[in-house]
């Protein structure tokens, strides 16, 4: 007698609080990462990195919660076989929504794709930070070349993430419209109207204490390991003594450029022609010249694996002694407004210190850039 009627609808709390908090925190942090990565100036690197650490912690939590969370938060509840996925796609092609209680088959694919991509972006980000910037837990272990490769992958994956986010939104709104389901609201309130007979008969109960403890232990162990690893000397930097003669003589007219900013051949050429040094006589007595030339030969760019040494390694053949003429320098600075270089506090392009507060150390950290307001 009641057979032809659809089963009664009930408002079911499908997403627990931790899962919803995870979802929106992750959305916020990803937005922050995209903003600081694509739009914010370079000196926001510190914020970008901490957003990344936050995302790693969130993903750790989500994996733990995927094992001990409430029923529809568990990974086992949304691992679909190929058949279910194909069926879902056929349904969508015919204009039918999936009406899953938890994640739909395609929705679950999107969950895994998004989380895997974010995790891979965080991992490659650590390599960029360690290899290129000589900062963070991998500073002592990743060289510039691996960091530079990681930078490419980091950028590619980030573009891929933007695409996935677009598809995710399309999927959510498409499925909401097709199935007349308030999917966005259910991720806010946790509640979703579902047919009572579709709810799993024996719902796995959330284990809050276990989830919290496991997440805390893993995140704490990872943070401690990272903090310990960060204490090793960065692989790109070598110990360099201070040569007083270099500091005194070469900082009389300009800053004492870090020796890593030019290759040996360029330094040798400059030291051999001090009587015509960029249009001025900067000659020194023979003993001092020899002492400084030997120092520069020892600590020229060939001796370093820093970002500055690597990116300025190739010089302009027409001006091999001019740091600001190298193709690398020009590429790095091409978006800086020329007015900045003419401003009162900068005056000339060779005034590295005007914007790079750590220029004398040769580090050139992104966070240490401060372009003076004119």
Partner 1 sequence: MPITPLKPALVFAAGVVVATAGLAAANTARDAILKTYEHQAGVASFSAAAGKALFQGHHTGGKAATPSCTTCHTKNPRVMGQTRAGKPIKPMAVSHNPNRFTDPHKVEKWFRRNCHTVLGRACTAKEKGEIITYLSSI
How near is the Cβ of 281 to partner 1 at its closest, in Å?
4
- Rounded CA-CA distance 150/68 in Å is 34
* β-pair partners for 12: 192
How near is the Cβ of 356 to partner 1 at its closest, in Å?
14
Burial 172-190, CB ≥16 within 10 A → b, else e? beebbeeeebebeebbeeb
CB neighbours of 86 closer than 8 A, spacing ≥ 6? Answer: none
Q: Does 272 bind partner 1 (CB under 8 A)?
A: no
How near is the Cβ of 360 to partner 1 at its closest, in Å?
13
Judged by beta carbon, residue 233 or residue 276, the one nearer partner 1 is: 276
User: Using an 8 Å Cβ cutoff, are 146 and 126 in contact?
Assistant: no
- The pair of structure tokens assigned to 72 is 């529809």
> DSSP letter string over 244-278?
HHHHHHHTSSS----GGGS-HHHHHHHHHTGGGBT
CB neighbours of 112 closer than 8 A, spacing ≥ 6? Answer: none
Residue with tokens 């912690």: 57
Q: Does 279 bind partner 1 (CB under 8 A)?
A: yes
User: Using an 8 Å Cβ cutoff, are 102 and 153 in contact?
Assistant: no
Q: Does 282 bind partner 1 (CB under 8 A)?
A: yes
How near is the Cβ of 372 to partner 1 at its closest, in Å?
12
Q: Which stretch binds partner 1 (CB under 8 A): 58-66, 101-109, 246-254, 292-300?
A: 246-254
Which of 24, 38, 232, 278 is in the footprint of partner 1 by CB under 8 A?
Answer: 278
| SS3 of residue 127 by DSSP | helix
Sign of the dihedral defined by the CA atoms of residues 168, 170, 174, 180, in that order: positive
| Residues 352-371 contacting partner 1, CB under 8 A | 354
How near is the Cβ of 43 to partner 1 at its closest, in Å?
21
| Binding track over 323-352 against partner 1, x by CB under 8 A | -----------------------xxx-xx-
| Residues 248-267 contacting partner 1, CB under 8 A | 251-255
Judged by beta carbon, residue 11 or residue 272, the one nearer partner 1 is: 272
Which of 283, 302, 314, 327 is in the footprint of partner 1 by CB under 8 A?
Answer: 283
| Residues 120-139 contacting partner 1, CB under 8 A | none
Residue with tokens 């040769």: 362
| Angstrom distances, CA of residue 63 to CA of 100, 116, 153, 182 | 21, 11, 24, 26
How near is the Cβ of 253 to partner 1 at its closest, in Å?
4
Judged by beta carbon, residue 97 or residue 346, the one nearer partner 1 is: 346
How near is the Cβ of 361 to partner 1 at its closest, in Å?
18
- Rounded CA-CA distance 53/47 in Å is 10
How near is the Cβ of 283 to partner 1 at its closest, in Å?
6
- Rounded CA-CA distance 363/313 in Å is 15
Judged by beta carbon, residue 134 or residue 266, the one nearer partner 1 is: 266
- Rounded CA-CA distance 341/354 in Å is 9
Judged by beta carbon, residue 14 or residue 355, the one nearer partner 1 is: 355
Judged by beta carbon, residue 148 or residue 341, the one nearer partner 1 is: 341
Number of residues that bind partner 1 (CB under 8 A): 19
Judged by beta carbon, residue 152 or residue 345, the one nearer partner 1 is: 345
- Residue 294's closest CA among 241, 251, 254, 253? 241
| Binding track over 60-99 against partner 1, x by CB under 8 A | ----------------------------------------
How near is the Cβ of 257 to partner 1 at its closest, in Å?
10
User: Residues in the site for partner 1, rule: CB under 8 A?
Assistant: 251-255, 275, 278-284, 346-348, 350-351, 354
């Amino acid at each position: 007698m009641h057979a032809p009627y659809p089963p009664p609808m009930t408002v079911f709390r499908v997403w627990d609080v931790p899962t919803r908090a995870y979802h929106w925190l992750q959305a916020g942090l990803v937005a922050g990462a995209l903003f600081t990565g694509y739009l914010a100036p370079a000196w926001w690197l510190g914020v970008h990195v901490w957003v990344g650490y936050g995302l790693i912690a969130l993903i750790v939590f989500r994996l733990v919660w995927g094992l001990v969370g409430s029923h529809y938060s568990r990974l086992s509840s949304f691992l679909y076989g190929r058949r279910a996925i194909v069926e879902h796609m056929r349904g969508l092609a015919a204009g039918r929504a999936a009406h899953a209680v938890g994640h739909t088959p395609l929705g679950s694919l999107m969950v895994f794709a998004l989380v895997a991509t974010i995790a891979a972006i965080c991992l490659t980000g650590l390599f960029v930070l360690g290899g290129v910037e000589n900062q963070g837990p991998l500073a002592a272990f990743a060289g510039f070349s691996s960091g530079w490769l990681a930078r490419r992958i980091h950028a590619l994956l980030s573009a891929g993430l933007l695409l996935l986010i677009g598809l995710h939104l399309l999927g959510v709104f498409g499925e909401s419209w097709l199935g007349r389901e308030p999917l966005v609201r259910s991720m806010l309130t946790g509640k979703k109207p579902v047919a009572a007979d579709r709810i799993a008969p024996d719902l796995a109960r959330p284990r809050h204490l276990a989830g919290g403890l496991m997440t805390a232990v893993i995140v704490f162990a990872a943070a401690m390991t990272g903090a310990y690893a960060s204490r090793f000397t960065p692989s790109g930097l070598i110990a360099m003594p201070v040569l007083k003669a270099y500091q005194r003589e070469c900082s009389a007219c300009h800053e004492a450029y870090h020796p890593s900013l030019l290759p040996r051949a360029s330094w040798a050429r400059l030291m051999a022609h001090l009587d015509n040094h960029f249009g001025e006589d900067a000659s020194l007595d023979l003993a001092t010249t020899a002492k400084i030339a030997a120092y520069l030969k020892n600590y020229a760019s060939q001796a370093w694996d820093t970002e500055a040494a690597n990116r300025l390694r190739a010089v302009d053949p027409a001006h091999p002694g001019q740091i600001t003429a190298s193709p690398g320098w020009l590429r790095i600075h091409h978006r800086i407004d020329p007015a900045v270089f003419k401003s009162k506090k900068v005056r000339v392009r060779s005034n590295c210190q005007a914007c790079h507060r750590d220029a004398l150390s040769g580090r050139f950290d992104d966070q240490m850039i401060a372009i003076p307001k004119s």
